[in-house]
Amino acid sequence: MPVAVSKQLRVEEEVPIKKKGGYLLPDENKLRRLGAAGDQVLLVLGELMSGFAQKLFRTASSVSMIRRDVFLNTRPEFPLLLSSDVQLILGQEQLKTEIGLVVDMQQMNLFEGPHIYGVRVLEPAGYRLERPPMDLREGTLIELRSGYIHHDVLYRHTPETRGALLDALLSRAEVVEVIVRPPGENTLRKTVTVARQPQAVTTG
Amino acid sequence: MVTARAQILASVLRRIGGVDLKHFRGRLALQKQIYFLQVFGFYLGYRYSWYLYGPYSPSLTKDAFGIQDLVETINPIKFSEISLESRFEEFIKFFGPKRTDAQWLELISSVHFLAKLYPSWSRDRLAKRVQRKNPDFTSEKVEKAIEYLESRQLLTR
């Protein structure tokens, strides 16, 4: 699985720990900048501190961090929406799971990592969704009625609401287009045939 | 609220034999197992940085703590695509009896991470960098790790 690694590596040597009053404390600002926001800081803290204390006795060398996603430019095989297959056949639940999975991969910087730009019904032609499942903003409603969900809607709502919207959109859809950007790559247009036969679900 | 990613993580962990978050070695093993899951092409979008024990993903730690109970009850992951299923079996076989050997996992993941980031580095330089992290990782051990990864086509140098 060859990986093209950019030469513009951003390498940093930094310890997300600061000295204060003779104590070693987590540098929360630094941790946040590294992408460990909010309660993640607390979870990571234990690992860092325990490791740091052990390493302090073991070696005097510096603790290093490399800010770089080693998986960038690696073409995933799963989820299928990020794979190299341009045409897919997925069950409705499977497609919802895959969309949810990619949405959950959102990075702090939206231009990094995978992203879904939208889901559009291609077939049946002239698709109309008569009864949207909930009250939505006017623009969103118009798009949904015409068979399109914009990425803002996918990312803004809770998984439950997103699931309800996708259920409504996909309920009569036969073929949809998912516009997706795999990690570190250009945007792809995936054509997904929504299988109405029960498919083995990827989550078992 | 369990996200789709966390659910899939739980079903992956169920299939590969559960997760031990009570002990540091268990958490370390989790980090490295999921690192290699992504190396095998099963991308869950966990971003890894170079920490004290090699590649580490804070968001994976967060998700793992949120799904401890779910791992006990969820169905193990199973892929309908035959190619994906056989790839996943390769991933499981890759660890063999060392699935929970934290030190081995730390070594091979560290070697893999650095080799991917710095493809031009010599083996010697790679070994020195890994040893800076953990002096127990001798040149011989690093060499063995490289050979192990190369023999499974996870590293081409």
Reported as a single tens digit per residue, the pLDDT across B75-133 is 999 998 899 999 999 999 999 899 889 999 999 999 999 999 888 889 899 999 898 88
Top pLDDT among B99 and B1 is at B99
pTM as predicted: 0.80
Residues of chain A with C-beta less than 8 angstroms from the C-beta of B9: none
What does the pLDDT read at residue A2? 42
Annotated domain spans of chain A:
11-66, 80-195
The whole-number pLDDT of residue A119 equals 97
Rounded CA separation A105/B5 (Å)? 8
| Residues with Cβ within 8 Å of residue A136, at least 6 apart in sequence | A144, A153
Pairing relationship of beta strands A148-150 and A175-181 according to DSSP bridges: unpaired
Is B38 in CB contact (< 8 Å) with chain A? yes
Tokens of B119: 């493809």
Q: Is the bond into A124 cis (omega within 30 degrees of 0)?
A: yes
For testing contact with chain B, the best of A45, A50, A66, A180 (most B CBs within 10 A): A66
Chain A residues within an 8 Å CB radius of B65: 43
ipTM, two decimals, is 0.86
CA A204 to chain centre: 21
Residue B51 pLDDT: 84
Residue of B nearest to A88 (CA): B81
Report percent pLDDT > 90 for chain B. 67
Report whether pLDDT(B140) > 90: yes
Nearest-CA residue of chain A relative to B53?
A51
Question: In DSSP terms, which residues pair with A149 in a beta bridge?
Answer: A119
Task: From A183, A177, A117, A188, select the one nearest A153 (Cα to Cα).
Answer: A117
> Residue A44 is nearest to which of B24, B43, B58, comparing CB atoms?
B58
C-alpha–C-alpha distance, residues B120 and B135, integer Å? 23
**What is the dihedral sign for C-alpha A63, B135, B58, B22?**
negative
- pLDDT given for residue B136 in this prediction: 92
Residue A144, CA distances (Å) to A127, A137, A157 in order: 10, 10, 14
Q: What is the pLDDT at residue A13?
A: 39
pLDDT at residue B115 in the model: 92
User: How is chain B split into domains, by residue range?
Assistant: 4-151
At residue B44, does pLDDT exceed 90? yes
- Mean pLDDT (chain B) is 92
Positions of chain A with pLDDT lower than 50, given as ranges: 1-15, 36-42, 57-62, 200-201, 203-204
